[in-house]
Amino acid sequence: MTENQEKIVALYVRVSTGYQVDKDSLPFQKKELKAYCEHVLHIDKKRIEIFEDAGKSGKNTKRPAFERMMNKIKAGQVSHVIVYKIDRISRNLVDFSLMYDDFKYNNVTFISLNEQFDTSSAIGEAILKIILVFAELERKLTSERVKDVMIGRAKNVQWNGARVPYGWDWDEKNKCPVHSDKEAPYVRTMYQMYLDGGSTITIRNYNNSHNIPTKRGGEWTSKTVADLLRNPMNRGDYRYNYRESSRGRKKPAEEVIYIKDAFPPIVDPKIWDAVNKKMDENAALRNTSGLHTIRNRCNVFAGLIVCGKCGHNYQVKGKDSRKGNGFRPSSYACTGKFQKNNCDNMNISDVNIGPFIINYIAAMVDASKKRKNIRNIDDLEQLILSHINFSDVIGISEESLRNTMDLFSAQTSSLGISSLSTQDQDGSVISQKNKLEEELQKTNRALERLKKAFLFDDDGISEKEFLEMKSKLEIDRIQIENSLKKISQDSISANVNHIEFIKTASQFLMIHEINSGNFVDYKKLASADEKTMKDFISSVVSGITVLDKRIVKIVFRNGLSHTLLYR
């Protein structure tokens, strides 16, 4: 028995709805495919396996049976994939191209009965690709027609079948949204609470404490409150085609359909306008809507801090005014505070976290340099803690210390980065240039000696040997000259690019401070160049867990983590 005869023959069948009939039905597809295997390919029934997706669309590959079949193909268990029609397996050209690459890589023959081709021949493969182009074109044209119909309905103030928002119910008889007797009063209360000085957080807390459920019966978050207050439908306006998807990015204003006074308003439009104006003012005051990273300033620890209570990430809450020394610290808050669990972990600032982290890194560098003198984990712990000017830290977990000792014993850098070297970059370039110039002089001298040997030595080399050696030396000379030219160009470029020069100088000074063995003044370094500080910290640390303003865990980029113990 050959290897192919031991593999299965996969019959893939699919319908996009559970009730398709006639030639698109699942029983019909299975019947035709089995008959083809039996009478045309003469395949043993024991080798046949059917993969069936009912009620699944062909526009993407997120289908259970399809994914199970592809796993078997990648495992080398399939010899053929047979479908009734090409669009049964895919209607997307990109998806099919990726899928077909897997077929070819695993020597799988693809056959479609309806189009009467198989990919074991070059013609069959070419026809397959042409057919798939038109299958995708048909799908896109259909999608565009549906979209045009939906937009036309929206312009005529007809609802397009989406779930009605909180405060509204669906009137099946008149096919339109109407005020909800249960939810509309809560909506009016929320608008009034915000006008009376409330916030999305206080409204959220009120709703949850008074057991007011959301549309789906869950708990409120500050975002669901904000979305409700921002919804123009509550003032009677109809907005359609606003986002790419329910949570996608906003579409250009010219593509949005906005019809005023399309529905009877739940709240007075003047109240809606007042609330939204106030929300805009509050957002501008915080320089953020909700709690999002402040993007127009550098925040050194953004994206690194994790809450030790609820596990949510910390995000930037604000940036303090500049101090006398130029230091402008950022503050960070747990995003769990703005979720339904309402985490109460304390905020933290660069003032707390910056000096600790930079000096902890300096301690690890110092320990790495002195690793030959570190006899046990107690020595290691004492050395690291001697760098940290925080008296409430009483120790480091034993597991953290043992893992670090194991890393040291492997003779690797404690942080796994090369940037903690104080090597003189300019000296390295000069040394490389001098070496190349010496090689160039040697090559030129070799060429001169070669010419003299050929022209004046009675027992000299033949013309053929001379030309071969001369050609090789001239190639070497050109390569050396090109390398020298590149060094010169790089040097000129570095001098011209003042920003890069400053950045390099800042990094050198920062690394020099860390290598000094003394306490590192985080405020001074961060004030000089926050961006360089952020890049440096991010290159060494991948996560910092905080609990009540204390750093309880540091995870380094090389996977090493240290858990800190407090009084």
Positions marked catalytic: 16
Residue pair 350/300 in contact (Cβ under 8 Å)? The answer is yes
Q: How far apart are CA 473 and CA 302, in angstroms?
A: 55
Name 445's Cβ contacts closer than 8 Å, sequence gap at least 6: none
Residue pair 302/330 in contact (Cβ under 8 Å)? The answer is yes
Q: How far apart are CA 183 and CA 80, in angstroms?
A: 57
Residue pair 5/80 in contact (Cβ under 8 Å)? The answer is no
Residue with tokens 């850098």: 413
Distance of CA 378 to the CA centre of its chain: 40
Helix, strand or coil, per DSSP, at residue 55? coil
List the Cα angle 257/261/267 in 5-degree steps.
115
Which is it for the CA torsion 209, 215, 218, 223, positive or negative? negative
Residue with tokens 């439908």: 233
H-assigned helices in 241-344 = 269-286
| CA torsion, ordered 266, 269, 275, 276, to nearest 10 deg | 110
Beta partners for 566? Answer: 393
- Which of these, 275, 269, 268, 266, lies nearest to 180 by C-alpha position? 266
Greatest alpha-carbon pair distance for the chain in Å reads: 115
Name 134's Cβ contacts closer than 8 Å, sequence gap at least 6: none
Beta strand ranges found along 192-279 (DSSP E)? 238-240, 257-259
Q: How far apart are CA 178 and CA 376, in angstroms?
A: 74
- Which of these, 531, 532, 510, lies nearest to 521 by C-alpha position? 510
Q: Is 10 exposed, middle or buried (0-12, 13-18, 19+ CB in 10 A)?
A: buried
How many CA atoms lie within 13 Å of 377's alpha carbon, on the beta-carbon side?
14
Q: How far apart are CA 102 and CA 111, in angstroms?
A: 15
Q: Edge to edge, what strands does the sheet with 48-54 contain?
A: 48-54, 8-15, 78-83, 109-112, 117-118
